[in-house]
Structure 1
Amino acid sequence: MSDSVIQKSELKKACKNCGAELTYKPGTTQITCDYCGHQEELNLSLDTLKELPLREYLREMGAQANSVEISLLHCKNCGANQHVEENYKSLHCVYCGTPLIREDAVTEQWILPGGVLPFQLTQQEALVRFKKWVKGLWWAPNDLQKASLDPQFTKGLYLPYWTFDAQLYGRYTGSRGDYYYETETYRDSKGRRQTRRVRKTRWSPVSGNIQGFIDDTLINASKQHTGKVPRGVSRWDLKKLQPFESGFLSGFVTEKYTIPLNQGHLEAQDEMRNIATVWARRDIGGDEQRVNQLNIQLEEETFKHILLPVYISAYRYKNKEYSFFVNGENGSISGKRPYSFWKIFFAVLAGLLVFAALYLFSN
């Protein structure tokens, strides 16, 4: 393993003034010391994002290429594998809050990330988004704004994803439907003869070829928590990806992928087939399309392991815990929330009274 690769895999950086750990400052290209205030610029690579050849990695001999070791804590409750920086004095799983024991850390191999989308929001900005979100909730209890939120358990987490690129070639057979109209006669409820225009579809067989480049098919690489992070916050601008620099991870939790590359590739193939179907329908044209058979071939396939940012936390309301998520790049938020029984009850009651009044008035 080369010295440059070893240096890239070092996830902790110390302050040269006081020795405390440096952490990444969201929205910047700096790492800073929370103890003495010292700041350093990250040595960002001028290279473009590195795409890795897929077929070599799917073969057994290529599985460990471009791989390094990472220290992980395994949550015995929910199964999440998390890399946790030294600056966290109290360790808890970011997903379920279960205490983690630093002595239980294990060392595993992982494919070095090819890109990272750095946090653009600080923890405090994420909490401000939460408070604004609470104020805008419909049907929420009036005193929800007093919910207990402990910033200590609001953690910034880098989620693992695979991205896949490929040159796609396909051949399809199907049918093209074109609308046309005919006038037909009918009798109405009173027996009178009437005419109307009726839309019909003329189908004709078609076949053809499609091709194109599919860029950055995004596949979640975390098995335990698929579906837990809401779709509403699972949208990132991948154009903001930076070549991997370990300094971006300082001060945050990093989750290791649990969906292996070969399984992620199978999911990507399904996504690419869906894209190819859309291309085929567009190529068929007309008003309606049927794709009866579609054969695709993928060439020049490459992939990246990337890390995407999200804040995860929970708040307490009347002794019950509700989780919420904030996208660490764009600030979109989603989460579980309580509902006010009385607000909903009186709203339904008011609706029934209005309906009854309108009914009485109309009669």
Structure 2
Amino acid sequence: MEEEKKAFSEQKKSCVNCGAELTYKPGTTQITCDYCGHEETIIPHQDGFKELELKPYLSEMGSVSHSEEILMLHCKNCGANQHVEENYKSLHCVYCTMPLIVEDAYKEDWILPGAVLPFQFDQKQSHQIFSKWVKGLWFAPNNLKKAALDPEYTKGLYLPYWTFDAQLYADYTGERGDYYYVSVPYTTTVNGKSVRRTRQERRTRWTQSNGSIKGFVDDTLIKASAQKQNTIPTKIAHWNLDALEPFNTSFLAGFVTEKYTIPLKDGHLSSTREAENIARSWARTDIGGDTQRVHSIDMSLSEETFKHILLPVYISSYKYSGKKYHFFINGQTGNISGKRPYSFWKIFFFILLIVTIIGIIVWLYNK
């Protein structure tokens, strides 16, 4: 176990030419020196992904295997736990930008990641995405593009997630609904006279149904950290997990890594609820018909495994009229989401224009 820890431990790699620390080059499998340009290839781990058996980890016995100590910094303002690489010259929380005190760093155990999804573009490109986003905003103040976006506060962050795999088996009871149509008479008025007509109305014929379903539930993704503020928007929290790489600390070089704050046990409970939703969906498919009702699901999971994985996102903030706005960019897809200011006068004059157009239309109609 000690040898395994050593193989995965945080080891800083220095440039063979100038001695500076090497950092990961987004979108590649290279680590590079920012000073002299020297590059080295990241060699993938021979064993591939680390899928770990779940049950041993939910007991005391398994809590120490595949784990190690890392240096952590805790933000007293928002509560985020961050592992900051040594080459960071300015230590600020990636979520709230409050200063982090190096002297407050402490060591803490964590379950080693089994895989990492590397960043696909660098900080400069994240600024370009932000600028394009600003230009496309409706009702934004004209001088918003001059907003103070400090590169110092734009950080690439690896977010912790749990993924769970399992064989699912379930017995279900429910009802199958098949649509049919009937002719229903009704009375309407045409030219002042009552007229009898018919219309087609849909009905549902229900029949009892029960059965069994089984299948493999792959990579149920569960967020492993919780923030008091500036939560990662759901809009950008979608990654292609097919691009996961076996965990290698070289991918983390030059970035901030957040430690999970949602324990594995709680993550497993969330994944079980997701599995129940999947089982209900499979049951509806198995029942067939036009619509379905699922009354009960008796589900069991076996051969459960999990991974601790790291997923990329850029986090930053900008100031406009003395107020701070945060934005987030998916480090793989480039999708962006953030808070923005609105121009009161642009909205006011737009509404005034609409009201004026409606008024002219009404005036012409009644003329």
Report if TM-score (shorter chain) is over 0.5: yes
Match of 1:291 in 2: 294
Q: Which amino acid aligns with 2:133?
A: W
8 Å contact 2:162–2:224 — kept in the other structure? yes
Q: Which residue of 2 aligns with 1:208?
A: 211
Alignment-derived partner of residue 71 in structure 2: 71
Amino acid at match of 2:112: L
Q: How does 1:1-363 map to 2 (within 5 A)?
A: 1-189=1-189, 190-224=193-227, 228-363=231-366
Give the TM-score taking structure 2 as reference length: 0.96
Q: CA offsets, 1:200-253, max 9 Å, x none?
A: 111111111111101000000002258711112111110000000000000000
TM-fit CA distance, 1:194: 1.2
Q: Matches of 1:147 and 1:63 in 2, distance apart? A: 47
Cα deviations across residues 18-38 of structure 1 (Å, max 9, x unaligned)?
222111111111111112222
Which amino acid counterpart does residue 330 of structure 1 have in structure 2?
A: T
Relative to structure 1, is the Cα distance of residues 200 and 227 closer, same or farther in structure 2, using a 3 angstrom cutoff? Answer: farther
Question: Match for 1:105: what amino acid?
Answer: A
How far apart in 2 are the matches of 1:345 and 1:183? 52
Q: Give the letter aligned to residue 139 of structure 1.
A: F
Rounded to whole Å, the distance in 1 between the matches of 2:327 and 2:32 is: 27
Q: How far apart are 1:353 and its partner, in Å? A: 1.7
**Conservation of the 8 A alpha-carbon contact between 1:11 and 1:250:** no
More moved, 35-44 vs 294-303: 35-44
TM-score by length of 1: 0.97
CA distance in 1, matches of 2:286, 2:123: 47
SS in 1 for 2:267: helix
Matched positions, count: 363
Contact 1:115–1:242 under 8 Å retained in 2 = yes
On the 8 A contact 1:187/1:194 being kept in 2, the answer is yes
Quick one: distance in 1 between partners of 2:147 and 2:237?
25
Aligned CA distance change for structure 1 residues 246 and 239 (closer, same or farther; 3 Å) = same
| Whole-angstrom CA distance in 2 between matches of 1:118 and 1:81 | 20
Deviation at 1:6, TM superposition (A): 1.4
Structure 1 vs Structure 2 CA RMSD: 1.3
Partner SS for 1:316: strand
- Report if the CA contact (8 A) 2:167-2:303 is conserved: yes
Q: How many angstroms apart in 2 are the aligned matches of 1:216 and 1:78?
A: 29
**SS of equivalent to 2:13:** coil
Aligned counterparts of 2:230 and 2:322: Cα–Cα separation in 1: 25
Which residue identity does 1:194 align to in structure 2? R
1:92-149 deviations in Å (ceiling 9; x for gaps): 0000011011111000000000000011110001011000111111111111111111
How far off is 1:4 after superposition?
A: 4.0
Q: Tell me the distance in 2 between the aligned counterparts of 1:270 and 1:355.
A: 51
> What SS does the corresponding residue of 1:90 show, helix, strand or coil?
coil
Contact 1:12 1:85 in 2 (8 A): no
Letter in 1 for 2:236: V
Could you tell me which amino acid in structure 2 is paired with residue 281 of structure 1?
R
Deviations 1:129-176 (A, max 9, x none): 000111111111111111111111100000000000011001111111
| Structure 1 residues 259 and 231: CA distance shift in structure 2, 3 A | same
Match for 2:240: what amino acid? D
Give unpaired runs (5+ residues) of structure 1.
none
Residues 233 and 333 in structure 1, CA contact (< 8 A), matched pair in contact too: yes
Give the secondary structure class of the aligned counterpart of 2:284.
Answer: helix
The amino acid across from 1:331 in the alignment is G
- Separation in 1, partners of 2:47, 2:228: 32
Q: Distance in 2 between matches of 1:247 and 1:155?
A: 17
Contact 2:313 2:330 in 1 (8 A): yes
> Percent identity among equivalent residues?
62
